[in-house]
Amino acid sequence: MLCPECGAEMNHHADKVDYNAALEEPGLIDPDFGGVVEEAHTCPACGRSEVRAAREGAS
Ligand SMILES: [Zn+2]
């Protein structure tokens, strides 16, 4: 994932399961976890943090 701020490649450093997001975005639920798996990314260049649903950006 590229940083939306400066375009650097962001580091994927953590995953979490969001059960509240699952209520809002049922299409993104991972059946193995029973919630939406989110990936936390941090930019090494500018320090920006981004969280996105793992299933959104499977590329
Ligand atoms: Zn950045």
pLDDT value at residue 55: 84
Question: Does residue 25 belong to any structural domain of this protein?
Answer: yes
Q: Contact at 8 Å (CB) between 16 and 38?
A: yes
Quote the number of domains for the chain.
1
Nearest to 56, CA basis, from 36, 41, 42: 36
Question: Does residue 59 belong to any structural domain of this protein?
Answer: no
pLDDT value at residue 23: 92
pLDDT digits (tens, 9 = 90+) for 26-58: 999 999 999 999 999 999 999 999 999 998 755
- Cα of 42 vs centre of ligand 1, distance in Å, is 8
- Cα of 13 vs centre of ligand 1, distance in Å, is 15
Whole domain around residue 49: which residue ranges?
A: 11-53
Question: Does residue 1 belong to any structural domain of this protein?
Answer: no
pTM beyond 0.85, yes or no: no
pLDDT value at residue 58: 53
Question: Does residue 58 belong to any structural domain of this protein?
Answer: no
> In the predicted model, what is the mean pLDDT of residues 4-27?
94
